[in-house]
Structure 1
Amino acid sequence: MIVSLSFDARYLVEQPWWAQEFYAEVDMEPVSIGARLASSVVVPLVKKLFVTDGPGAGFVDRPVRISKMVSFHGEKRTLSDNELRKIAEELVERAAQSTGMSERLPGFEYRAVVNAVTHSLSSLGHVDMDDVQAVQLGYLELSRHLRSGNQAATLGLSSDAVLLHANVVDTACLHILHFFTTRSTFVPRTLVEQSRRIKELSSKIDILILRTPSPADGGFEERYARYISRKHGKLTIFGLDLPGSSGSWPLDAAYLSLEATGTTGDDIPLVLPAEQVLAGRDRVLLRGVAGSGKTTLVQWLAVSAARNDLDERLLHLHGLVPFVLPMRSLTRAGARLPTPDEFLSAVGCPIAHAQPTGWYDRVLTAGRGLMLVDGIDEMPEGEREEARNWLRDLIGSYPKNRWLVTSRPSAVREHWLGSEKFTELDLAPMNRDDVAAFIRRWHKAAGSADAYGKELLYAVRAKQELARLATNPLMCALICALHRDRRGYLPDGRKELYDAALSMLLSRRDRERGIYKTGDMRIGETHQVQLIQKLAYWLIRNGRSEMDAKDVLDLLSQALTAMPRVAEQGTVKQIYRHVLVRSGLLIEPVEGTMQFIHRTFQDYLGARAAVESLDFDFLGGNAHLDQWEDVIRMAVAHARPAERTRLLTGLIERGDTSQDTRHRLHLLAAACLDDATELDPAVRAEVQQRAEKLIPPRSVAQARALAEVGPVVLELLQGPEDLTPDEAYFTVLTAVRIGTDAAIPVLTRFRTMEDLRVRTELALTWSRFDTDRYAEEIIAHLHEDDLYFVVSSSRELRALRLFGGRSLLKIASPLSPEEIKEFCEADLLSGLCVAADLRCSWEWLAAFPHLTHLTLEIPHPNIDVSSLRNVRSLRALRLPPTARVVGADQLSPNLEITRTDSRNQIGHPI
C-alpha cells in the first residue's frame, strides 16, 4: 500500500476525506515525497512487531495494553533490536526505491531515516494506551505520537528525508491499527465502525495506486500541476481592475457553483452542480451561452485535479492529469489540431519540452487524463467536422479518460457526439440566489461599501429588465462594475450597458485614476473604439478568436492613415501597446497573439464596425452561421431604423426561401426584436408571424433556441390547450429558461397538468423566481401524485408549510437537519430526496415516522448509511450509481436498496 504524494488517508478514516499534501516547497526543486508500499509488503512486517495470540486469547473481553502486545519488549521478547531495525530498514528501502529517493538521498540521510523509523516503532513498547484507544485515536495521530518521542532524530535533515520518515511511520501505523482490529482480543462491539473504515482504507489505497504516476514521471507531473495551478488559478473579473482593486481574482474566491441541466432517459429534468458533471460520467458535452461560466468551470476542474485538494465531492478527479485544450488556441493561425504529444506545446506551456519521453501515452493509456476541450464554437463552422473527427480519433485511441467538451448552444447540433456516448448538458442561467451571491462576492473583492451591494441587489430584484440581463457571471460583473462606477445609476438595455462599459474602460477609468502625465500618449475614446472595432471585425470576418500581432499591426497601420492626430503620437507598435494596456478589452494570451478579454465585446464592436461600413448584405449572408448570431443582434441594436428594417427584412426573406436555414433565420429575427428600440410596426409583425410558426417547440433544442430569443417569446407561447404532452413540456421548458418573473403568467397556465415532466419542471425551477409569488401562483396548485417538490432554501420550506406541507420533498441546497425538521410536517413526509451535501449523518430522519422512501443524490464517492438503522419506517433506499455504500449490513434486511442509473434514473438492486 502507499503513503503518497498529495493525499492524506486520514480523510478515509477520521473525517471527510482527503486533506493535506505530503510534499513541501524547499530551496531545491520540490520532489514528490512518499512511499508506495503494497499491503502485501507491509502486513507481514507489521505482524512481526506483535506477539502471537496464545490459547485462550479469544476469551479476553477487555482491550489490551499495546505495551503488552509488542514482541520486542519485556521478559518474553521474541524480536531483537537488530530484527526491529531490519524491519524499519526494509520499510524505508521499499519506499525509497519505489519513489526514486534511494538515488537522491545522501547516504547519511538514508541511515538517519532508518534510525528514526526504528525509534518510532520501538516507542510502541512505551505507549500508554490500549488497542481500542489507539484505533479510536486514528492512525495519523498515533503516528504523530510515536514520532514526537524523538524529534531530534530528524533535525538537520532535508524536507525529503523528514517527510519520508513521516510517511513510512504513517503507513506502518495504518496497518498496525488494522492488525489490532483483526485480533481475537479486540472488542468488536465497540469498534465495528472504525474497523470497517480501516479495512476499507487498505483496499482503497491499493486501488488508488493505479492512479499514481510512475517514479519516472512523478517529478514532471508535480511541475506540471504547479503550472496548471498558477496558469488557471486566477480569473480576470470585469470591473475588478478599477481603482483600488486587483486585476485578478483567486479562483477559490471567484468560483460560483452553478447548475448543469439535462434530461434523463425518461425525459425527467435532471439538475446537478456543474462541477459534478464528470462524476459518474466519463464524457460530457456542456453547452452554455456567452459569459455563462464554461471556461471558468474548465479552470476549476483543472486546478482541482492539479492541486489534489480532494474535497470529497471531487474525489472522482483524484490522480487525473488535466489537459486544458482551448480550441481558439489550438487552431491559431489555421494550425492543424495537435496530436497528444503536442498538447502542451500547442497551448504554450513553458515546460512542454521537459515532459518525459512517452509520458502523455502512459497517462492516457492508464485513463488518467482529464481532457478539457473548451470552446468548440470558437472554431469556424466549416472546421468543426474536422474537430469532431479529431475527438473521435483521440477517444478511440485512449478510451478510458474523462472528457468535457464545451460549446455555445447553437454551435453544435443535438447528439453531435452521441456516437461517442457523450452525455449532453446545459449550463443553467444564474438563479436569484446565484446572482445575490455573485453581487456580494464582487463587492467584497472590489472593496466597495456594503451600501452599493445592497442597493444593487434591490435594483436587480425590483427591475425586470435588469434581472433579465443578470443571468450569467459576465453580465453580473458588468452590472456590478457600472453600478459602482456610476454611483448607483444603471442604463436599462443591453446595448446601453455595453456602451457605458466601453466608456468606463476607454476613458473614464484612466481619467479618474489620474494616470495621464505630461508627455503621455493620449488617444480619445472615439479613436480607440474605431481602432479596436476594426480588429474585432477582422476576427469575425475571418472566423477567428485570436489574431497574430503582425496582422494587428498591419490592420492598425491601414486604419491610422485616416487618423493623423493619433498616428503622430507614436509608431504603430507604440499605439498598439497603448491600446492593449489601457483599454482593458484586449489581452495577449501568449506572446505574439491578441484576443478580446471576452468574445461578447468582440461581437459587440465587430457589429458596430459592420453597421458603420454598411455591410448589411454581408451580415445577412452569414446570418445562418452560429458565430454571427450575436453579431447580427448587436448590429440591429447599433443600426438606425431604416437599416434595421433592411437587416430584418433580409433575414425574413432569406429564411422564407431556404428550407435548411429557415428555422434558424426566423428565430434570429425574432431574437433581434429585443434589441430593436425603434422599428417599423409592419416589420415587427412580419417577424412575429414567422416566429409563431415555430411555436410550440417540439424538442429540447427548439426550446433552448426559443428561450434565447428572450421575453418577446412569452407573448407567443400557446397552451396548454391543443398541445400534445411533448409540446406542453417543451413550452414550459422554454418559459422556464427565459427565467424572469414575466414568465410566471405563462407557467400558471400549465400548473394543473397531470404530466409528470411538466409538474417536475415547474417544481424544479422554483428558485429562479420570486419565492412567495411563485409558491402562491404555481407550487400551491401542482398535483402531488408522484411529484417531489424541490426546495432550495428555508424560505421555500416555510412557504410549503403554509400550504399544508407536502409528502414528497427534494432538498436541493445544504439546509440543516434542524431547519428541515422545523418546517416539514413530520406526520406527512413519506418520501425524501437529498441532492445536496448536508454534511451530516442520517439518524435525525427518525423524526419522520412515516418516511418510507429515501433517495440520496449527494456527490460523495462513499455514502455511509449505517445511521439509518434507527429509521424504522424506511422501506426503500436509492443511491447514486457509482457511490460506495458503507454500513448497509447494519440495516434491516427488509429495506430494499437500489442504485439510480445516471442516464435513466432507474433503480436496480445492489
Structure 2
Amino acid sequence: MWIGNPIAQSATTTVVDLVQQKVTGRRDQRRLERRFAEIEESIADRIVSYLDHEFRGLPENEREAAVLAVADAFERAGLTDRTLFEQDLDPLYLERYIRDRNPHATRDLSGAAVALYDRVLPESCAYVLATVSTLPNLQTGAFTELLRREALILEHLEEVLDRIPRRPEGLDEDPEAAFETAYRRKAAERWDVLELFGTDAHTRPYRLSVAYLSLCVRGWPEQGSSGGPDEPGDRQVEQVLATRSRTFLRGPAGAGKTTLLRWAAVRASRSDFPDEMSAWNGLIPFLIPLRQYVGQRLPEPEDFLRQTGRHLAYQAPSGWVTSVLADGRAIVLIDGIDELPPGEREDARRWLRDLLADFPDCRYIVTTRPGAASETWLDADGFASAELQSLREGDVRAFIHHWHEAVRGDIADQDERDRLTGFEHELIQKVLNQRHLRAIASTPLLCALLCALYRDRNTSLPRDRMEVYEAALAMLLKDRDQQRGIEGIDLSRRELVLLLQELAKWLILNGSSDAPIPTVRRQVARLLAAMHGVREDPEEVFAHLVVRSGLLQCPTVDRVGFLHRTFEEYLAARALVEEDSFPLLIRHAHDDQWHEVVVMAAGHCTPAQREELVTGLLERSGQVKRHRDRLLLVAFACLETSPALSQDLSEDIRARVRSILPPRTKDHVHALSMVGEYALPLLATVPPQNARQAAKSIEAASTIGGPSAVPVIERALAFGSESVMLAAQRAWLNEPSEELARVLFPRFEERRPHYYIPVAADRAGWQARYMPGNRRASVEGANGDDLDGLSGLTALTFVDLRNRSGTQWHGIDLAPLASLPSLIQLDIDGDASAERIAPLAACPITFLELSHPEHTRDLTYVRELETLRHLCFTRALPSIPLGELVPDRGLESFGLRRVRLRDLRYLAGAPNTVHSLDVMMCPALMSFAGLESQTASLSKLSLRQFDSRHASLEPLASLESLSALRVDRWTWELVGNAHWITRVPHLRKLYLDFGLRTPATVPDWVRELPYLVELCLEAENPLSLQALAGAENLTVHVRQRTKVLGADRLGTGSSLLRAPGNSLPPW
C-alpha cells in the first residue's frame, strides 16, 4: 500500500513493482529497494521484540500462522490513500476497517494464535500510519526526493516509530486497556505537530516534542516548599506544573500557551515527561480548545475524545472517559478562555467548576490572554495562577537555535546547512544587540517570524512588529511559491490578502477563531463573486488557502481557522480600516477580544484615519466611565503601531494616561510595555505611592528595558516589599546590565538571605564587582563556563549552580571555590554536574547537593569532607554504594530528589547512619523496602510527590526512632497506608500535605497517634479540623492565610498557630 499510487491498489503489487514503475536506472532502483527493506526490517524488529517476550511459549508454526493471517488481512483490505484518509489516519479505526473486511481471518487459528493476531494487528496498523505520515507522497518526484534525502527521512521515520505508545504487557484481553493504547497513539500523533513559520511544512511536520522550548512563567512557590520569599518568583513552566495540580496559565498573543498544552498532551500520551514532571507519567490527556464551542454547549466528558479523533467517541468503551476522570488519571487541558465571547466566559467557569466538583483529583491547566480574565479569576477553585513571561536572552538564543536546527534537519546539502548555521549566529547577535529587534523577539511567534524572514529575505529584517506581519504575509502567500517554482492558482498577493482579510473580519465580527468548512467555503465563494477580475474556481481557491497559504489550518476535520489568532487580528484590522469602520472599532475597543485589532488598526491607518481613531478612543474614555482606564490604555498602546501622530494628540494621550499612573494592574503594565521607551518618561514623572504600584512600575520599566529604565527601578526599590524585590529580581533576569547591577546588588544583599540575584557564569567577572559582600551566589551556566568570577567573593556562604535553560553544564570545575573560606553550602541542580569535589576540602562544607553524581569522578571524596552533615543526590543515583560515601560519623540528613529508583534499598549500604531522610519527586518508587536499614538512627522522614499507588508504608512500623513524619495525601490515602502510619511507635510530629484537595479535612486516623504533640498542615482553603475536636495537648500549625474550620473545638492544652510570613515551621 503506497499513498497516491493507483497501481498499489492491487494486493499483489510489491515494492519492486512500484519502484520499477516510478524510478528509472537500475542503481537508483536498487537503492530504493534497500531503503524500503530497511523500513520493513525496522518495523519487524519492533514487533518481534515483544513477540519473543510476551509469546515465547507459543509454538513457532502457530506464531507464523498468526503473523501470516495479519499480512493476508492487510492485502485483502485493499488499502489505498483514500481508504486511509477516510479512516482519519486513526489506527483504531483502521484496525476495525480491516477486521470488517476480514471477518473470518482467524477461523483456522488456535486460541493462543488468535491472541497473537489480536496483538499484532493493532501494532501493525499503528506502524503503517506512522510510516505513511512520515514518508513523502510516493509520486515520481517524491521518489527522487526520497533518494536525495534518504538518510534524513529514514532517521525521522525511526524517531516516529520509537515514539509510538506501547500497550502495557498482560492487558491484551482488556478492551479498556486496548482502547487506552489506541487513544494515546492517536493523541500523540494528533498533537505532536509544531508549526515553525517560514519552514517547508510540506516536506515533513516538525515534531513539537523535539522542537519545544521550555518557557519561564511568573509562578507561585512550589507546593510543599516553605513558601518564603527566598523562592524565586519566576521559574520554568514545567516546575510550576509539576507542583500544582491546577494551573491557570495566562499569556499574551503568541506567548506559547497552546503549544504548551499540546506539548503536555503529547508527553502524557507517551508517558515521557521530563524528570520534574515524571509524576504525571501514566496520566491521560484531554485537550479542549474552547474556540470550538463559541455559541455552543460546552462538552460533556464523553465528548472530550472528539478533539483528538472524530471516530474515537464511537469506539470508546461505555463510560471510559468518565471512569478515567473519576480515577484522577486525567490531565484536562482547557485552551483559550479569551476565545470565548465575554458573555460566555462565566458559563465556562461554571462548567469548569462542575468538572472540578465531579473529578477533583485530576490535573487541570487552563489558558487565557490576560485581558480576558484576571489572575484571581480561578483562585476560589484552587488554581495557582502563572503568567508566561517574555523571552529572555537565554530563551532567544535557545529558540533561534531550535528553529534553525529543525530546518537543518530537512536539508541534505552541506553548503546550505552551513549557510543556515551562519544565519543562526548572525541573527542571535543582531537580535540581542539591537534594541528594536530585541523588543520584537518577545514571544515565540515573533521570534519564529524573525528567523523565517532573516532566511527568506537574505538577512534583511523589519523594524517593528507591523512590518514583521506584513513581511510574513508576503513570504507565506506568494513570494515563497514563486521563489521555489511551485505552481498555484493565478491570484495576486493583493487578491489573496483581500480574501483572507475579509474572512478574518467575518470571524472577528462573529466572535470566532474558526468556523465550519462549508460556511467558510460559502464565504470564499461570496467574496470571489465580488472580485470581478478573478476567474478561479472557489473550491480551488479555498483549497489553496488551506493547503498553500500557511495561514489557515483545520483544527478538526470539519472546521477551518487561522493558524494563529494574531494573523486573524492583523488582517481583520486591515479590512476594517480599508472600509473606514472606525465607529465599530471605537465601540468595541474596551473588549479584550478587540484590543489587538484596534491597536493594529492604528498601524494600518493613514494619518487622517489614525487621528480619527485615536480621538474617538479618547472621547469615549471620557463618556464611558467604567471603561475609562482600558480605553486610555488602548489609545496609549496605539502609539506603538503608529508611525506618526500629531503632537497635540500625542500629548493629550500622555496627559490622560499620566492621570492613571503609577501602574496598578497587569493591563496597565502590558499597555506601557507595548508602547516601549515612550512610556519611560511618564513612569519617571509619577512616583509610586505604595508597594503594589512600585512593583508594577519596576515590571513595566524592566519589560521596556534600557538605561532609562534604571532610575525608575531604583526609585521603586525604596518600598522593599516582597512583591517589589521579586519584581526587581525579574528585572535583572530580563536584562542583566551593569547599570542595573549597580542599583540592585547592594539592595539585595541588605535583604539577604530572603532574596538573591542569579549570576551568569560567563559574566560573573564583571557582575562580581557589584557583590563583594554578598553571602549567596546563584550561578547559571552551560558547558564550557567556569567559576573563576567567584574566586574573590570571600564572604560567600552559599553557592548554588544550575544549567541555563535549554543547555547542559557538566564537568564543572569547582577549584575556584577553594578560595571561599566561609562556604558552608553548595547545591548543584538541574542538568549540571561537578567534575571533582576534592576542591571543597578547603571549605567548611556542611550542606552538599549533587545533581547527576554519576558524572563526578572522585565522588568517594565525600567521606573526606570533615564538616559535611547533609548530603542530597538529585536526577540520578551513583553506582558507588552509599556505605562508601557516608562519613563514619553518619549524616544528619540525606535526600533523594527526582531520582528514578524502584525502592530504597540503596540505603542498606550504610545501615543506621542517616538521621533525617527526604525522598521527593521519585515517581518510579514502587516500594519503601530499605527503610528498615535505618531503624536505629532515622528520626525524621519526608515522603512526597511520587506514584504512591503501589507503595506500602509497612516498613514504617519498624522505625523505632522515628519521631517526625511528613507525607502528602496521595501517600496516606493509599489503602492500608494510614494504618501503617498509626503503627509508628513514637511519632510526635506529623506534617500533612493536602495538595489542592478542597475542602481539606484532617483524617480521623490522626487521633490514633498517642504521642502526637505537633501537627503541621499544608492545605488550601478551607481546612477542616473536625477530626481533632476534643484533642488535647496538640499544637496545630497552618499558613497565615489559611481559612480554618473547627479550631474552636480543640481540646484542653491544644492551640492553633498561624505561621508568620505564610510559611510553616521548617522541617
Task: Give the Cα–Cα distance (whole angstroms) in 1 for the partners of residues 589 and 636 of structure 2.
Answer: 13
Q: Is the CA contact 1:325–1:343 (under 8 Å) kept in the aligned structure 2?
A: yes
* Alignment-derived partner of residue 391 in structure 2: 430
Task: Give the Cα–Cα distance (whole angstroms) in 2 for the partners of residues 823 and 474 of structure 1.
Answer: 41
Residue 316 of structure 1: CA displacement? 1.6
* Alignment-derived partner of residue 340 in structure 1: 301
Q: Are 1:827 and 2:798 matched, yes or no?
A: no
Q: Are 1:508 and 2:471 matched, yes or no?
A: no
Counting only pairs closer than 5 Å after superposition, residues 333-412 of structure 1 correspond to structure 2 as 334-412=295-373
Distance 1:744 1:457, change over 3 A: farther
* Alignment-derived partner of residue 801 in structure 1: 768
* Alignment-derived partner of residue 531 in structure 2: 563
Q: Are 1:660 and 2:621 matched, yes or no?
A: no
Q: Are 1:613 and 2:570 matched, yes or no?
A: no
Q: Is the CA contact 2:220–2:240 (under 8 Å) kept in the aligned structure 1?
A: no
Moved more, 656-665 or 783-792: 783-792
* Alignment-derived partner of residue 122 in structure 1: none
Q: Is the CA contact 1:801–1:825 (under 8 Å) kept in the aligned structure 2?
A: no
Q: Is the CA contact 2:250–2:368 (under 8 Å) kept in the aligned structure 1?
A: yes
Aligned partner (choices 279, 283, 308) of residue 246 of structure 2 = 283
Distance 1:312 1:783, change over 3 A: closer
Distance 1:828 1:350, change over 3 A: farther
Q: Is the CA contact 1:280–1:881 (under 8 Å) kept in the aligned structure 2?
A: no
Amino acid of the residue matched to residue 288 of structure 1? G
Amino acid of the residue matched to residue 758 of structure 2? V
Structure 1: give runs of 5+ residues left out of the alignment. Answer: 1-23, 35-91, 111-153, 163-208
Counting only pairs closer than 5 Å after superposition, residues 92-491 of structure 1 correspond to structure 2 as 215-241=174-200, 246=203, 248-264=205-221, 270-309=233-272, 311-329=274-292, 331=293, 334-447=295-408, 448=417, 449=419, 450-491=421-462
Q: Is the CA contact 2:892–2:914 (under 8 Å) kept in the aligned structure 1?
A: no
Q: Is the CA contact 1:304–1:317 (under 8 Å) kept in the aligned structure 2?
A: no
Task: Give the Cα–Cα distance (whole angstroms) in 2 for the partners of residues 685 and 872 of structure 1.
Answer: 73
Task: Give the Cα–Cα distance (whole angstroms) in 2 for the partners of residues 896 and 868 of structure 1.
Answer: 21
* Alignment-derived partner of residue 736 in structure 1: 702
Task: Give the Cα–Cα distance (whole angstroms) in 1 for the partners of residues 49 and 249 of structure 2.
Answer: 35
Task: Give the Cα–Cα distance (whole angstroms) in 2 for the partners of residues 870 and 797 of structure 1.
Answer: 34
Amino acid of the residue matched to residue 300 of structure 1? W
Q: Is the CA contact 1:287–1:408 (under 8 Å) kept in the aligned structure 2?
A: yes
Distance 1:159 1:547, change over 3 A: closer
Amino acid of the residue matched to residue 314 of structure 1? M
Identical amino acids, percent of aligned pairs: 34
Residue 458 of structure 1: CA displacement? 1.6
Residue 750 of structure 1: CA displacement? 4.6
Distance 1:586 1:756, change over 3 A: closer
Task: Give the Cα–Cα distance (whole angstroms) in 2 for the partners of residues 282 and 229 of structure 1.
Answer: 22
* Alignment-derived partner of residue 1063 in structure 2: 906
Q: Please give the secondary structure, in 2, of the residue aligned with 1:325.
A: strand
* Alignment-derived partner of residue 139 in structure 1: none
Task: Give the Cα–Cα distance (whole angstroms) in 1 for the partners of residues 382 and 492 of structure 2.
Answer: 53
Distance 1:322 1:295, change over 3 A: same
Residue 25 of structure 1: CA displacement? 9.8
Residue 745 of structure 1: CA displacement? 4.6
Higher RCO by CA contacts (8 Å cutoff, separation 6 or greater): 1
Task: Give the Cα–Cα distance (whole angstroms) in 1 for the partners of residues 828 and 665 of structure 2.
Answer: 29
Task: Give the Cα–Cα distance (whole angstroms) in 2 for the partners of residues 848 and 704 of structure 1.
Answer: 49
Task: Give the Cα–Cα distance (whole angstroms) in 2 for the partners of residues 712 and 291 of structure 1.
Answer: 23
Residue 880 of structure 1: CA displacement? 8.7
Task: Give the Cα–Cα distance (whole angstroms) in 1 for the partners of residues 585 and 507 of structure 2.
Answer: 14
Amino acid of the residue matched to residue 579 of structure 1? L
Residue 650 of structure 1: CA displacement? 1.8
* Alignment-derived partner of residue 530 in structure 1: 498
Distance 1:617 1:890, change over 3 A: farther
* Alignment-derived partner of residue 843 in structure 2: 849
Residue 255 of structure 1: CA displacement? 0.6
Q: Is the CA contact 2:697–2:713 (under 8 Å) kept in the aligned structure 1?
A: no
Distance 1:374 1:312, change over 3 A: same
Residue 686 of structure 1: CA displacement? 1.6
* Alignment-derived partner of residue 72 in structure 1: none
Amino acid of the residue matched to residue 257 of structure 2? K
Q: Is the CA contact 1:801–1:824 (under 8 Å) kept in the aligned structure 2?
A: no
Aligned partner (choices 545, 548, 552) of residue 579 of structure 1 = 545
Residue 794 of structure 1: CA displacement? 1.4
Moved more, 826-835 or 500-509: 826-835
Distance 1:856 1:379, change over 3 A: farther
Residue 761 of structure 1: CA displacement? 3.4
Q: Is the CA contact 1:433–1:767 (under 8 Å) kept in the aligned structure 2?
A: no
Task: Using structure 1 for the length normalisation, give the TM-score.
Answer: 0.71
Residue 763 of structure 1: CA displacement? 3.4
Task: Give the Cα–Cα distance (whole angstroms) in 2 for the partners of residues 871 and 544 of structure 1.
Answer: 69
Task: Give the Cα–Cα distance (whole angstroms) in 2 for the partners of residues 757 and 844 of structure 1.
Answer: 40
Residue 220 of structure 1: CA displacement? 1.0
Amino acid of the residue matched to residue 218 of structure 2? T
Q: Is the CA contact 1:797–1:823 (under 8 Å) kept in the aligned structure 2?
A: no
* Alignment-derived partner of residue 949 in structure 2: none
Q: Is the CA contact 2:875–2:897 (under 8 Å) kept in the aligned structure 1?
A: no
Amino acid of the residue matched to residue 269 of structure 2? A
Q: Are 1:588 and 2:554 matched, yes or no?
A: yes
Task: Using structure 2 for the length normalisation, give the TM-score.
Answer: 0.61
Q: Is the CA contact 2:197–2:449 (under 8 Å) kept in the aligned structure 1?
A: yes
Q: Please give the secondary structure, in 2, of the residue aligned with 1:403.
A: strand
Task: Give the Cα–Cα distance (whole angstroms) in 2 for the partners of residues 426 and 820 of structure 1.
Answer: 36
Q: Is the CA contact 2:695–2:724 (under 8 Å) kept in the aligned structure 1?
A: yes
Q: Is the CA contact 2:500–2:571 (under 8 Å) kept in the aligned structure 1?
A: yes
Amino acid of the residue matched to residue 456 of structure 1? L
Moved more, 334-343 or 732-741: 732-741
Residue 660 of structure 1: CA displacement? 2.1
Q: Is the CA contact 1:849–1:873 (under 8 Å) kept in the aligned structure 2?
A: no
Structure 2: give runs of 5+ residues left out of the alignment. Answer: 1-40, 64-111, 121-167, 222-226, 409-416, 781-801, 804-808, 853-871, 917-937, 943-965, 967-992, 994-1017, 1021-1038, 1040-1061
Q: Is the CA contact 1:651–1:666 (under 8 Å) kept in the aligned structure 2?
A: yes
Could you report, residue by residue, the CA deviation over 1:762-804 in whole angstroms, capped at 9, with x for unpaired residues?
2344332255554355436643432543336312444443443
Amino acid of the residue matched to residue 331 of structure 2? L
Counting only pairs closer than 5 Å after superposition, residues 570-719 of structure 1 correspond to structure 2 as 570-699=536-665, 702-704=668-670, 706-718=672-684
Q: Is the CA contact 1:775–1:800 (under 8 Å) kept in the aligned structure 2?
A: yes
Distance 1:360 1:794, change over 3 A: same
Q: Is the CA contact 1:881–1:902 (under 8 Å) kept in the aligned structure 2?
A: no
Distance 1:668 1:857, change over 3 A: farther
* Alignment-derived partner of residue 205 in structure 1: none
Amino acid of the residue matched to residue 194 of structure 2? L
Could you report, residue by residue, the CA deviation over 1:406-465 in whole angstroms, capped at 9, with x for unpaired residues?
111111123111121000001111101110111122223223522211211121122111
Residue 240 of structure 1: CA displacement? 1.0
Could you report, residue by residue, the CA deviation over 1:518-568 in whole angstroms, capped at 9, with x for unpaired residues?
xx63100111111110000000000000022222232223322332221x2
Distance 1:765 1:819, change over 3 A: farther
Moved more, 352-361 or 387-396: 352-361
Residue 902 of structure 1: CA displacement? 10
Residue 382 of structure 1: CA displacement? 1.2
Amino acid of the residue matched to residue 336 of structure 2? G
Could you report, residue by residue, the CA deviation over 1:187-232 in whole angstroms, capped at 9, with x for unpaired residues?
xxxxxxxxxxxxxxxxxxxxxx9xx999342111111111111111
Give the aligned length. Answer: 723
Q: Please give the secondary structure, in 1, of the residue aligned with 2:334.
A: strand
Task: Give the Cα–Cα distance (whole angstroms) in 1 for the partners of residues 760 and 194 of structure 2.
Answer: 29
Aligned partner (choices 710, 725, 733) of residue 691 of structure 2 = 725
> Cα RMSD between the aligned structures?
4.3
Residue 611 of structure 1: CA displacement? 0.3
Q: Is the CA contact 1:667–1:705 (under 8 Å) kept in the aligned structure 2?
A: yes
